Amino acid sequence: MRREVTIWLLALSLTAVAGDSFRGKLPMLSDDSLSGKSPVLSGDSLLVEQPEKEGWLKRLIVSFSEQDTAWVEPQHYNWALMLQSIMTYDYYKLSAGNQSVSFSPRLDIRMGPYFGWRWIFLGYTLDLRKLNIFKKSPRFEIDGSIYSARFGADVFYRRTVNDYMIRSVEMENGIDTGPLEGMSFDGLKVSITGISLYYIFNHKRFSYPAAFAQSSCQKISCGSWMAGLGYLSNSIDFDYERLESMARERLGQEVQIDSAMNFGSVKYRDISASVGYAYNWVFARNWLFCSSLSLALAYKKSYSAMEQERAHGFSFSNFNIDGIGRFGLVWNNTKWYAGASAIVRAYNYHKSRFAANNIFGDLSVYVGLNFGTRKEFKRKLGNR
């Protein structure tokens, strides 16, 4: 069974959390009132003074969700229920010289319920192909996202152990590697942990949460530039001897893997700075399509379990280009919503003797219901 825990922190609604404390009007007092005296009448009018200055914490919280309501409709409800199906894709390609091999796990489909209150959204999904809850899963995954008007963040952890299949193999000398393709490979273990932060420049008119958190609605098509920082830690254990053994058995001849791929185990860290652009297209009433792409200049630093890795010229200590794409299609009338979204991440390393490419992402299809009208919208929505 594959198990996944997903946490969404919808920071766009932080204003609502603080709203119950800050939404009421501050009293208008006279100078005498500030000194402990009663308001003073002057003629037919009551002398009042300016309201107290807002605290920095309130201003900070409100700034996370500052948006122009002519362009973005805020969330109307406190509670949400959602049913979501998720498909995950993971792809690794290792290349050295004229050789390359690519791996990916079997495509799985997971489904589960999600429940949210304002800015906290929790859910749990089960692999529909493996419903034996007592069976140890070869994969474990935790994902978290923060979608506010001004800022966003992603946190993720993925671990896959010996659950890959060989998708393609290329060897020199025109060797036919077809018999290896599609075979299960129990010699690859991967764990990846990452966090990324980004800032949305046109946050008052453009709403990322409208596309990926369903916590607001974009009224008018709009786009925005973004900039961010990221950190990634990746661990790869590759049994090249196991691959050589399988190649001999299936191909009926001796096959030797390029020495640049004989690294055995490697861990590397990736620090990146990114820039990107996102656009929300409102093509019909209550409908939205979002497309977003960010490219990152990344510096990778690695250390391997093999001392001879330096002799092979294998090192992740250089700069490369990584990328992340987000795509979303949503129908949302503020009470009911449905849609699909995809998030794809690509991490690359290229050097004269060795190259590694990793692409992974999720495709989600969901339907949900908001309920429990917030105080400020009760008069507007009535008993809907």
Lowest mean pLDDT among 34-48, 85-99, 243-257: 34-48
pLDDT of residue 311: 42
In eight-state DSSP terms, residue 242 is H
Regarding pTM above 0.85, the answer is no
Mean pLDDT of 179-203: 89
Tell me the C-alpha distance between 213 and 381, whole Å: 21
Range with the largest mean pLDDT of 56-65, 94-103, 154-163, 201-210: 201-210
Tell me the C-alpha distance between 76 and 74, whole Å: 6
Both tokens of 220, joined, read 């008018």
Which residue bears the tokens 């391997």? 304
Residue 86 in contact with residue 5, Cβ under 8 Å?
Answer: no
Say if strands 222-238 and 188-200 run parallel, antiparallel, or are unpaired.
antiparallel
Tell me the C-alpha distance between 215 and 209, whole Å: 6
C-beta atoms surrounding 383 within 10 Å: 5
**Is residue 289 pLDDT above 50, yes or no?**
yes
pLDDT of residue 31: 38
More confident residue, 161 or 132: 161
> Exposed, middle or buried by CB within 10 Å (0-12, 13-18, 19+), for 355?
middle
**Is residue 165 pLDDT above 50, yes or no?**
yes
What rounded mean pLDDT belongs to the chain? 77
pLDDT of residue 282: 96
Residue 339 in contact with residue 42, Cβ under 8 Å?
Answer: no
More confident residue, 26 or 160: 160
pLDDT of residue 318: 74
Mean pLDDT of 135-159: 78
pLDDT in tens, 232-256: 988 888 888 888 888 888 887 777 7
Q: Can you give the residue ranges of every domain in the chain?
A: 3-13+77-381
> Exposed, middle or buried by CB within 10 Å (0-12, 13-18, 19+), for 319?
exposed
Positions of E strands within the chain: 3-9, 41-42, 45-46, 72-74, 77-96, 99-105, 108-117, 120-127, 139-147, 151-161, 164-170, 184-185, 188-200, 216-218, 222-238, 265-284, 287-304, 318-332, 336-350, 355-373
C-beta atoms surrounding 50 within 10 Å: 8
**Is residue 227 pLDDT above 90, yes or no?**
yes
Q: Which amino acid is at 124?
A: Y
- The SS3 of residue 187 is coil
Mean pLDDT of 60-70: 76
* Reported confidence tier of residue 51, pLDDT bands at 50, 70, 90: low
Lowest mean pLDDT among 106-110, 214-218, 308-312: 308-312
pLDDT of residue 27: 38
**Is residue 384 pLDDT above 80, yes or no?**
no
More confident residue, 65 or 115: 115
* Reported confidence tier of residue 217, pLDDT bands at 50, 70, 90: very high
* Reported confidence tier of residue 196, pLDDT bands at 50, 70, 90: very high
pLDDT of residue 60: 67
What CATH number should be reported for the domain whose range is 3-13+77-381? 2.40.128
pLDDT of residue 129: 63
